[in-house]
Amino acid sequence: MTRLDGRVLVASDLGRRSDQAIRDAAALALSARVPLVACHALPELFGFRPLFPHLRELDRAETDRVRELAARALEEQITRVLEPGSARPELRLEAGSPHAVVLEVAAEIAAGVIVLGREPEGGSRSIPERVARHASCPVLTVAERRGRAVLAATDFSDPALPAIHWGREEAERRGLPLVVVHAVDLHTSRLELPEIVSQSLIQRVTETRRGEARARLDELAGRLGPEVRLELREGPAVDAILAVAEAVEAELVVIGTRGRTGLARLALGSVAEGVLRRAPCSTLVVRLEA
């Protein structure tokens, strides 16, 4: 059973893109035995009209009409997507930009995880990315693809363990094997050395880093058990993670990003950002302790 510290929040745009997100969110809530909340962002149709106070009632009536239509459409989507007899989620409809509404509702209900449908690739201003930048809880971005494994990435630091724990629980819940990957960028280590350093010294430094990574991977293997497959890849982290995701036909990639506060939280970790944008499957971004 998946352990969650709060309710599952799923965001819907009322389109087909949200269907699988609702299914996955409902399954996650059922596994964790926590309530499910579904939210939808209403458009901010009208602004404040200080010079035309007599139009405010018309604005209010139109807003109420839009809210009623959206609530009906969300109810119909949930009925169509979920199995008959499934627990009905609490509905939340708020006006505002989609990512702001999701974050606001998540904070109000103390969500344990936020679930969103995957957006078409392109640009850096996607709603899942904006939500992942600011959310204090894990963010699951759902793709339609079904795969053969769950992949979790680690940099071997203790704060990265929550990503592995989430990966193990999601693998168990989905009935899939867990694969853990670590990437060592040996090219970066070469760039850090002065140009006057001999090639033999560069080779020794490279072999040392490679050996240290293998030793840490062996140590992690002893902690996780023989049922977990571990992969050591060389190269930039994002490229390595995505290559393993393709090789194992991952259904989900779990990636950690460092916990930040204040304005620093605007900076989603570069590895998490790259995986979130480019992964062909669902992604789960887990905020780690700094």
Beta strands per DSSP E along 185-228: none
Burial category of 81 from C-beta neighbours within 10 Å (exposed 0-12, middle 13-18, buried 19 and up): middle
Give the pLDDT confidence score for residue 194 in this predicted structure: 54
Give the pLDDT confidence score for residue 202 in this predicted structure: 62
For the segment 139-182, what is each residue's pLDDT rounded down to a tens digit?
A: 999 998 899 999 999 887 765 678 899 999 999 999 999 999 98
Which of these, 85, 120, 97, 94, lies nearest to 38 by C-alpha position? 94
Q: What is the value of pTM for the model shown?
A: 0.85
Q: In this predicted model, which residue has the larger pLDDT, 60 or 99?
A: 99
What domains are there in the chain, each with its CATH number? 1-143 (3.40.50.620), 145-290 (3.40.50.620)
Confidence of residue 266 (pLDDT cuts 50, 70, 90): very low
> Whole-number mean pLDDT of the chain?
84
Q: Is the pLDDT of residue 40 over 80?
A: yes
Give the pLDDT confidence score for residue 52 in this predicted structure: 55
Stretch 274-281: mean pLDDT, rounded?
Answer: 92
Q: Is the pLDDT of residue 82 over 90?
A: yes
Residue 39 CA neighbour count, 13 Å, CB half: 27
In sequence order, the β-bridge partners of residue 90 are 37
Give the pLDDT confidence score for residue 162 in this predicted structure: 84
